[in-house]
Every structure is written in C-alpha cells, then in structure tokens.
Amino acid sequence: MAPRAFVALDLETTGLDANADAIIEIGAVRIEQERVTATFSTLVNPGRRIPLRVQQLTGIRDEDVAVAPSLAMVLPELRAFVGPDVVAVVAHNAAFDLGFLRAAGVNFQRPALDTFELAGILLPGQPSYSLGELCRALAITLDDAHRALDDALATAELFVTLRQLLFSVPGPVIQTLHTAGVDSNWPPMLLIDEAWDRLGRQTQAPARTDLSELALQPAPLPLVPETLIRDGGPPLTPVPEAELLDFFAADGPLAAQFDGAFEARPGQVEMARLVLAALNDGEQMLLEAGTGVGKSLAYLLPAALWSLRNQRRVVIATNTIALQDQLIDKDIPQVQAMLQGADGGELHAALLKGRGQYLCVRRLHAWYQGRALAPQELSVLAKVLVWLPATTTGDVSELFLPSSGERAVWSQICSDAATCHPGRCGGPNRRDFYLDARRRADHTHLLVINHALLTVDIGNEGRALPRFSHLIIDEAHHLEDVTTDAQTHMVDWRVLDAQLARLALDGALFGQVATLALHHRDGPVQELLAQTAGSARRAQRALRHFAEQLHNFAVNHTDLRTDAGYAQRLALDGRMRSQPMWSQLEIEWEQSDAALGATVRRLTELTAHLAATGWREEALEGALLAELEGLAESLGELHGHTCAIINGPARGEQVRQVAWLEYTPNAGQESQTLLAAAPLYVGDVIGGTLVQRLRTCVLTGATLRSGADFRYIRERLGLWDAHADALPSPFDYRTSTLIYMPDDLPQPNHPSYQRAVDAAIIAAATAAGGRTMVLFTSYAHLRATAEGIRAPLDRQGITVLQHGSSSRRRLLREYRATERAVLLGTRSFWEGIDLPGEQLSVLVIVKLPFAVPSDPLVAARSAEFENSFMEYTLPDAILRFRQGFGRLIRRASDRGVVLLLDSRIWQKRYGQAFLEALPACTVRRASMANLGEEVDLWLNKE
C-alpha cells in the first residue's frame, strides 16, 4: 500500500458555539510516513472582542488579532494545504473543529479521524483523554497548550503513536473489527482496514474468533474455610481489646510502617476500639469521626482482626469511587501487611460492583454477530475488544464510554441477571466477568462495595451479595439519597422506545429467533413474532405521540422556564392532577397504555410458547429465551411504573410515592420531558429491612450530626435504637481557622448583593494570592460571579477556573497546577475535595446550602413534619454546610480562612446553629473594608 498523507489541525475560538462564536487561530500540520512534513499557522481576526476567559486560556489578546487576516482570506490557504492526496483529516475532538469549519463553509469531503475517539479505543483506563493529559502520559511535547499550531503538532504526534498502537493489536481483534465494519462509514475503519492489510488479506471467510480466549484467565480462588462461604460454623469468638491496641502501640506494627514518623492518634484508637466492641458484641452504631481521625484504618483493622479470628465476612460499603480505590489500593494492603503471620491465615479482600458494571462475553458475541453495526456501535465494539486481552476484572470503569449512546450499547453486552448464569455463560465465547467477581467475593474476608449495590441487595432480598451479617457503612450521610435513587422510577421515552425497537422483525434479537424458528420448523413462533412486532410498532407510535403531548404540556406550563439551562421539576400532586390539561394527558395515555400492555402480553405469550417447546434446554435458544423473558419483565415494569405515575394514587390511598415531571430545555425532543417517582421515606428500608437483619452494623462518616446530637440522621435512616458516638477532629481549629463574616454585607435578596459578593471574593483572593475555592448553591449564581470577578482578578495575575467549563477532575488538576487561581464550584465541590497545605488558603461559602423548597421530593418530605424548617430543612442544610467547611483544613499543619457571605448566619435566629455545628474556630465579624487586610494578617501570622 502506498504511503498515505494526513493533515492534523486545531482551532482556537472565542467560544464553544460554532454558529455564534468565531475562529481566532488555525494550525495544521501534514503527516507523511509517520513524520511532519509541513505546517500551516495563522491568527484570524474574528471581528469582535475576545472574551477574557479565552484570552486567559490561549494567551491571544485583542491586539494580537487586530491586524490579522479575516477568516475569508485564510480559508483558501487552508483548503490548499489539505491537498487532494490527503486521505483523512485528524483532530482532537474533531466534531468541534470541523463544526466551526463547516459553519464557515468548509467541508473537506474526506474522513475525519478523531484522536479523542482513537485514544478511547487504544488507551483504555486513562484518567483523562484531554490532549494535554494524553501528551503528558505518552511523553509527547506540548509546549504551548491552547495555541493552534502547538496543539496540531501534538495531535499529529498523538495520531502517529495511536496508529502504531493499532498495528500492534492482536490479529483476532483486527479480524473481528474488519468483519463487523464491512461497508461501514465509520472513519476509523480506514485504519482498521490498513491494519488488516498488514496482517495479510485473507480471501476466505474469516473463522469465528473465540473472544473468551482473548481474555486473561481469572486468578485462582483463595482457599478459605467453609464458614466464610456459607452460613453456620462454630460460635463467634471475641477479639480481645488489648490485641487490637497492640497494633497502635509506639513499637507496634502500625508504627513500623512509618519509619519513625508515626504519631499516635487518640481518636483513631478510640474509634477502632468502638468498632471492635460492635463486632464482638453485635451492635448497631452511628459513629461520627471528624477530619483527621483516620477512620478508614480505624474500622479496617478491627474488622480484619475479627474476620480472621472468626472466618466470617465483613462488608464495607462506601459511596464514592475514590474511597473504594483508596481502601482497595492503599488501606487494605497496609492492613494485610500488618497482619502477616496473624492467627487465622491470610486476609483476603475484594471489590464487588453492580452486575451491570461487568462484561458478559456471551452477550457481546451475540450482540454483534450477523448484522451491520452503526458507527457508535463499532466504536464501543472496538473499545471492548482492544481492552479485553488486558483486563483482569471486565469492569466497565476501565473503559471510556462518555456518551449516553455508548452506555446504552454497554447495557446490551454487560452481565444480566435475567440471562446470565454459570451454566449459560461458560465455554467458548461465554465468559461472564461478574460471575468471576461474585465467586471471588464468596472467598473473601473484607468485601468492599458501594452504597448502590447495597441497596440493590436490599431490593433483591439478599441475592446480590454473598451472605453477610456484619456491615460497615462509610460516608453514611449519603445513604438516604442513594437508597432513594435506587428506588426512584424514571420513565425516559428514549429508553422505552429503544426497548420496543428490539422487537422489530429485522432486529438482532427477533431476527435470531426467527432464524432458529425456521430451522425448527416452528410455525406458531413465526406468527407470534409477527404479532408481537406489530404490537410493538403500534406501541412505539402511541408512546411517541404521548411523549410529544407531555412535552407540549411542560413547555406551556407557567411554572417551567423554557429558557433555563437546567432540569426543572414539576410536582404531580393533587393540585396538578386536578388541572384540565393534566386530565387531558390522562385521556391521551389510555391509547399508549393499551398498546404497551398488549405488547407485553404478546411477548409473554411468545416466551411461554418457546419455553414449552424446549428452547430452555438448548444453549443458543436458551440464551435468546432468557433475553426475551428479561425484556418482557423490563417492559412490564416500565409499563406499571408509568401507569402509576400518570394515574396517581387511588382516592383515599396513603401516599408513599412522590411523582414529578422533569423538563430539561434544549435536550432532544423525546428525552427532554421525563416522568419520575421516588419513595417518600426510606428509613423503614434502611433501619428495618437492612440494619435489623444484621448482627453488626456500623455507620460512620465525618458529618453525621446536624447539631449536638444524631436526631436528624436517626430519623432519616430509621436508626432510633443504634448506639451513637462522636469523635472530634484532632485539629486545633481555633489557631488554624479564621471564620470571617462581613457584617455590612447585604442580604442575598438585595439588588446589590451580587456586587458585594464579587468584591469580597476579589479582596480575599487578592490577599491570598489565589489559593481560593468558592462554593455556590446554583450554577446561575456561579456564572454571574465568574463574569464579575474574572477581569479584576486577571489584572492581579489570578486565573478564574469555573465549574461547568470542564470536568471536576480536570478543574482540580488545573487548579493544583496553577500558582495563582480561584476555583468556583457547585454542589459536587462541597465534599470529596482534598487540597491540603498552601493549595487552599481561603474557602468562601456564598450561600447557606438549603435544599430547593420547590423540589417535589423536598416539598413532600417537608410536609411530613409539624415544623418542617426546624426538623427537616435546617438540619439538612447544616449537614451540607459542615461538609463544605471540611474542605479547608485537611492536615494538622494547614491554616486558612473561611469567608461566609450569607448574612442570614448573623441576622437570622437560626444562623447561630450553623456556627455551633462547627469546631471551635476564631470568629470575626467586621466590615468588608477590612477583609483583605484580615485575610493577609491571618495567613501570614507567625
């Protein structure tokens, strides 16, 4: 094959909208035989001012482009640079750059290869797929990021690297992708076909690839006593407290790991003692451990000792992936090292996630066989096949599937409770990684899971997890929200439409069933297939019409704003259901209800016939039958939930569910208006169904109290009988933390409040030299503040980083790498952020984090209390406030200022409750005029 020429290009623009913003710089490089042979670069006069945030990002100022050529003058040169011999254009996030060029009338009429997509395929498991991070990971030079030519050169080198990686992919993977992508217009097929040619084009039809042989074999299961795998066994043996305390001694195993730098933490020792007592005695416990206590080790060590002594499993549930990773990669290995040679043998630990996280090779093989795949499907197939020979877990978190469409594809190839079991998912092309993980979980002492899987186990009556009677729940303040989410039914019309589309006669599922029915000469199946497919088509039409009517209802409702850039909820309460427009919707639903119900009945008749004719006994037929049965169950559940939401509770029936309509402007027609319902209260599920069936349950976290006691979280989680203790942080907040409240600040509803907030942040950040994080309760307020402070801080050499402009992970990385910066964040930044030392010196809390009172779930739960503000709204806000406060002081040596900009704290009677919930700090109320000086004095105090 003759050498091919490619052109890599990059643009810098005034914004992100190709139809409203303008190009300010173009860079392009020509690639031939793996090297750059020519470059093209020019600034472009956009005919408008460049926004300050773009100037900060790119370094391109208005004066730089004032004498630059216009885009009309530049484009002919760019077209000439991309000559007729160029086979493809290369870009990172190609849709962005080519979208701007198309808006300017430029279409190169050749494939566009996106290094962002190619990296997602060929480099699974990267923490980030931004150009800068990929270059850093691959040691590619990128001297001046966000300048077009430098980015284009880096993109070219990245492309060359990725192309070479593709040529090293195992032959069976290339063969499978080449076969699956025949006649596809997916751009990467250009490179896959090239790799196929390098392997040597075969004229005969390719043999089937056994995908299971591509995967690494699972590690042997550890040999453990039967008591760990099954219930029963000898009576439990308490672990003496003295044995635990020996590990924390100055000459103990823990100190030995710190090479002389060990400092005993009394709070950690006390927490470990309490956890051991709960395990020994069989107790339920709420245990708050302040920042710096070292709670992970404080519960892991007693759990490990007790589990080894008794050969019984202890399950540890966390909310965040970050904490799971910390436990598995750092804390548990530390405990295992300390327990080397301990009684009970080797300590085994494992991580188990929800079933949908794991790949089923059997479902993957059945999914892509015998049909033409769309470009997005080919992209997912490529990602999975390249990753398959390298993964030991089959966990989707190791893949990069950023879009909802890709995640929808994953749902068709992951392990599935309805269709996957050891008898079916074994042998050629049939390995199920969830079953591997589940077997390993059976053989482990410490099993780490997340809150979501714990709630699934509750809903499945204990079938999702190995049997256990001892549980530690970390980050327990999230448990109510996670349990609520797990029991929330969301009706997304796009999902429902996709489910029905699987019943098309020419689709992958019904197509295979029809082929097998023809082989078995089963005439009734052909008729049932046709009837079910016809019913599904009618249901699709009816549901699309209803979704459109629901959308019109939302658009025309006075309580919803069509110009808002965020999701809005409308409660479907008695007042709403009494309106004539909603009554009309209920009438409209009747046709969809009948069509969907008929489809479920037809599909159920089909599965019953297949089961009666012996399909369950055959391998392929049994798998297809299970798939159909799972689909019938899923559609039936969706039908039932939708009916319940639309029709509401019967007259006189006790309300246990809160229903709402969710409207998101500017989304796709079918997905922008959803229906949802959530449980009014989950404390009976947590405190009753879960905790009461366990011998021991310890719920811990840094913020469990909303004042001096645990009353609020006891009520929310149904834990009135649990023992409760609080271990304060060991940090000296009085000397480390100044709480500053500008007492001349206007109230939040005052017209001059925004200007005052801007001025306060500017003064504090200037005094601190950046090193500031600002926490907001709304994106709208964040955006307004960003615009107000950006220019003044730019003149001080301080960069403003804004939540919403990039992912949280990337923003934190940029903040740490920028010497002088201010980071603006909303709700997800209120916790889980660790910026120790001089990375963060000033924390600004703009408003008290009260829940939105109009939210249907908040409003319905509030209505259950006599004094909803004092018993529900205020305690909830105090917990969130404490989480935000905890971002500042992360180490004993840290020092900083908390700036509170909500005057309700000192002007409203309830405001004192927020301050009383914090550790004893130095508190100062003074004027705005003194703010900068006070910050400077506190941070530089000797």
| pLDDT profile of the chain (942 residues), mean per 10 | 86 93 97 94 96 89 95 95 95 95 93 96 92 92 90 96 94 90 92 89 53 82 86 87 92 80 85 97 96 94 95 95 91 92 84 94 85 91 95 94 89 88 77 92 95 88 87 96 93 90 84 82 86 95 94 84 76 89 92 96 94 82 86 93 90 82 68 88 92 94 92 95 95 96 90 95 96 94 94 92 84 89 93 91 96 93 94 96 95 95 93 95 94 95 70
How far is the C-alpha of 29 from the C-alpha of 750, rounded, in Å?
A: 54
pLDDT value of residue 57 = 86
pLDDT value of residue 208 = 54
Estimate to the nearest angstrom the gap between the alpha carbon of 903 and the chain centroid.
Answer: 34
Task: Tell the burial category of 549 from Cβ atoms under 10 Å away from its Cβ (0-12, 13-18, 19+).
Answer: middle
- Kind and range of the H or E run holding 569: strand 568-571
Q: Which residue has the tokens 């206590």?
A: 293
pLDDT value of residue 209 = 64
Phi-psi region of 706 (alpha: psi -120 to 50; beta: other; left: phi over 0): alpha
Q: Which residue has the tokens 């929800």?
A: 354
- Kind and range of the H or E run holding 473: strand 470-473
- Is residue 6 a contact partner of residue 42, using CB atoms and an 8 Å limit? no
Q: Which one of the listed residues 146, 348, 489, 557 is annotated catalytic?
A: 146
Report the candidate in 570, 731, 730, 751 with the shortest Cα–Cα distance to residue 662: 570
Report the candidate in 102, 433, 88, 472 with the shortest Cα–Cα distance to residue 314: 472
Cα end-to-end distance, the chain, whole Å: 71
- The verdict on whether 146 is a catalytic residue reads yes
pLDDT value of residue 264 = 78
How far is the C-alpha of 314 from the C-alpha of 331, rounded, in Å?
A: 15
Amino acid at site 750: H
- Which runs of consecutive H residues, i.e. helices, occur in 673-778? 683, 711-717, 733-736, 753-768
**Dihedral sign (CA 806, 807, 810, 812):** positive
- Is residue 243 a contact partner of residue 302, using CB atoms and an 8 Å limit? no
SS3 content of the chain, % helix, strand, coil (to 5): 50, 15, 35
- Is residue 313 a contact partner of residue 466, using CB atoms and an 8 Å limit? yes
pLDDT value of residue 1 = 56
pLDDT value of residue 166 = 95
pLDDT value of residue 668 = 43
